[in-house]
Amino acid sequence: MLKTPVVSAIVALVVVALAFLLNPSPERHRAEIRNAVAERSPIAGVFGLGALTAFASTYHPLGVASYTTVNDRVVSVGAFGMVFYIQPSQDK
């Protein structure tokens, strides 16, 4: 009976510890931004607009996750070693 809560707590602690250890670095976020911009527009990739956008990004770590912003817009989010590029909306 007591085994289940203890096992659940241990699993939760392991997952949180892995999230802290695998939180993507600023360089991983910037590399994903460069790649996503180059994939979206080959011309932008040739002119290095992805690198410029990545350079202008601001990294925000949250411990178990992280995100980057450009001009107060979230551009990428990351957790557990993975980074996802978010297409900025045009409504702002």
Query: Considering the domain boundaries, does residue 91 fall inside one?
Result: no
Q: Give whole-number Cα distances, 49 to 4, 7, 12, 45, 64, in Å.
A: 52, 49, 41, 6, 29
Supply the range of the domain harboring residue 57: 3-85
In a domain, 74, yes or no: yes
pLDDT value for 91: 61
Give SS3 for 86.
Answer: coil
Q: Are strands 73-79 and 58-61 parallel, antiparallel or unpaired?
A: unpaired
Distances (CA, A) of 15 to 8, 10, 89: 11, 9, 32
Digitized pLDDT (tens) for each residue of the chain, 92 residues in all: 568 889 999 999 999 999 999 999 999 999 999 999 999 888 888 888 888 889 999 999 999 999 999 999 999 999 999 999 998 666 65
Domains held by the chain: number: 1
